[in-house]
Structure 1
Amino acid sequence: MLTRTRDLTAQKRSRRVRSRAVSTLPPLVVSTLKPHEVDLAYSTLVCPTCRTWVPISAPHSPRPKLVPHHTEKAGSDDPVRCPGSHRLVSINLTVDQWFQRLEEGLSQTDGRRSPRVLRKPTLGPPPAVMQIVGGAMDDKTARKLDEAHVRGCSACSVMDDEGKILRAADITSRCADGRRLAQLAAHTTRLAPARRKAQLDREDVNDRRAWAHRLLHQQQWSRHAQAVGHADTQRIEDVLAALIQTLNPHKVEAPQLTAWERADLMSAITLLATQKEQLQRR
Structure 2
Amino acid sequence: MTTRTRDLTAQQRPRRVRSRAVSSLPTLVVSSLKPHEVDLAFSTLVCPTCRTWVPISTPHSSRPKLVPHHTEKAGTEDPVRCPGSHRLVTVNLTADQWFQRLEEGLTQTNGRRSTRVIRKPKTGLAPAVMQIVGGTVDDKTARKLDEAHVRGCSICSVKDDKGNVLRAADLTARCTDGRRLAQLAAHTKRLAPARRKAQMDHEDWNDRRAWGMRLLREQQWQNVSEPVADTDLRRIRDTLAALIQMLNPRKADAPQLTDWERADLMSAITLLATQEEQFTR
Q: What's 2:151 paired with?
A: 151
Q: What's 2:23 paired with?
A: 23
- Please show how residues 1-282 of structure 1 align to structure 2 within 5 Å: 3-110=3-110, 111-114=112-115, 133=129, 135-139=131-135, 140=137, 145-157=145-157, 168-186=168-186
Residue 60 of structure 1: how far off its partner (Å) = 2.8
Give the alignment's Cα RMSD to 1 decimal.
4.2
Is the Cα–Cα contact under 8 Å of residues 28 and 88 in structure 1 kept in the other structure?
yes
- List per-residue Cα deviations over 1:39-80 (Å, max 9, x = no partner): 223322110111111112222333322111111222222322
SS, match of residue 56 in structure 1: strand
Distance 1:81 1:151 in 2: 97
Is the Cα–Cα contact under 8 Å of residues 13 and 54 in structure 2 kept in the other structure?
no
Cα–Cα, structure 1 residues 175 and 9, in superposed 2: closer, same or farther, change >3 Å?
closer
Cα–Cα, structure 1 residues 173 and 73, in superposed 2: closer, same or farther, change >3 Å?
closer
Cα–Cα, structure 1 residues 12 and 168, in superposed 2: closer, same or farther, change >3 Å?
same
Distance 1:100 1:142 in 2: 74
Structure 1, unmatched stretches of 5+, are 198-282
- Letter of the 1:11 partner, please give it: Q
Distance 2:191 2:23 in 1: 87
SS, match of residue 42 in structure 1: coil
Distance 2:18 2:42 in 1: 20
- Letter of the 1:105 partner, please give it: G
Distance 1:132 1:162 in 2: 33
Cα–Cα, structure 1 residues 74 and 118, in superposed 2: closer, same or farther, change >3 Å?
same
SS, match of residue 133 in structure 2: coil
Using structure 1 for the length normalisation, give the TM-score: 0.51
Q: Answer with 25-34 or 170-179: which moved more.
A: 170-179
Is the Cα–Cα contact under 8 Å of residues 134 and 187 in structure 1 kept in the other structure?
no
Distance 1:188 1:96 in 2: 81
SS, match of residue 136 in structure 1: helix
Residue 108 of structure 1: how far off its partner (Å) = 4.2
Aligned residues: 190
Bigger radius of gyration: 2
Q: What's 1:270 paired with?
A: none
Is the Cα–Cα contact under 8 Å of residues 23 and 84 in structure 2 kept in the other structure?
yes
Distance 2:94 2:188 in 1: 77
Distance 1:88 1:167 in 2: 104
Is the Cα–Cα contact under 8 Å of residues 28 and 88 in structure 2 kept in the other structure?
yes
Distance 2:119 2:94 in 1: 47
- List per-residue Cα deviations over 1:57-114 (Å, max 9, x = no partner): 2223333221111112222223222121121211222333333333443444451552
Structure 2, unmatched stretches of 5+, are 199-281
Is the Cα–Cα contact under 8 Å of residues 134 and 188 in structure 1 kept in the other structure?
no
Cα–Cα, structure 1 residues 47 and 13, in superposed 2: closer, same or farther, change >3 Å?
closer
Is the Cα–Cα contact under 8 Å of residues 17 and 57 in structure 2 kept in the other structure?
yes
Distance 2:32 2:177 in 1: 76
Q: What's 2:229 paired with?
A: none
Cα–Cα, structure 1 residues 138 and 37, in superposed 2: closer, same or farther, change >3 Å?
same
Residue 160 of structure 1: how far off its partner (Å) = 8.5
Query: Identical aligned pairs, as a percentage?
Result: 76
Residue 4 of structure 1: how far off its partner (Å) = 4.7
Distance 1:88 1:47 in 2: 12
